[in-house]
Amino acid sequence: MQFTQPKKGRHQWVSRANIRCVTIDVLVDDRFAQAELSEIATKAMETVEQSWQEIEQNIAQNLLREYNDEWAFHADLPRLSAVELLNKLTPTCLSIWYDGSIRFSLVFDAGDLFGGYEPTIGWTKDGVMQPASAQP
């Protein structure tokens, strides 16, 4: 993981999660004090990296049926396997914000798979991963 000198706003994070090297924008809420940023951002990124297998399972469980039964079916597109779906998604943004507690979400680029909507996985203030969703 490479992430240095976090400041408020947009940053780049390079990670080798799941053998792919991706560059992710890190958006940090400007309500954080400068001294907190490094610790908060690093913890969120470590959570994502350590949870990668669970993230993939979450996507397969929550987005595969939605894609195949809704998007592919109605657009007369081929159905995808879990592996094919996962290979078409690229994490693009880790958003970290404060609303009384620290929360973060991971956003994926899915191209046109979900009508342009970006699949997202959020974590609660207690660090519990929420179901992946590709809704507006």
pLDDT for position 2:
41
Strand residues in 35-99 grouped as ranges (E): 90-98
Q: For residue 15, what are the domain limits?
A: 9-123
Alpha carbon 87 to its chain's center: 14
In this structure, is residue 76 part of a structural domain? yes
pLDDT tens, residue order, the chain (136 aa) = 344 444 445 555 555 555 455 556 666 666 666 656 667 777 888 888 889 899 999 999 999 999 999 899 888 889 999 999 999 998 888 887 777 677 888 999 999 899 889 999 999 888 899 999 997 6
In this structure, is residue 131 part of a structural domain? no
Q: How many domains does the chain have?
A: 1
In this structure, is residue 4 part of a structural domain? no
Query: CA–CA separation, 32 vs 111, rounded Å?
Result: 32
In this structure, is residue 128 part of a structural domain? no
Considering the entire predicted model, what is its pTM? 0.77
In this structure, is residue 32 part of a structural domain? yes
In this structure, is residue 29 part of a structural domain? yes
Half-sphere exposure of 31 (CA within 13 A, CB side): 8
**Helix, strand or coil, per DSSP, at residue 10:** strand
**Which is nearest to 128 in space by CA: 39, 58, 23?**
58
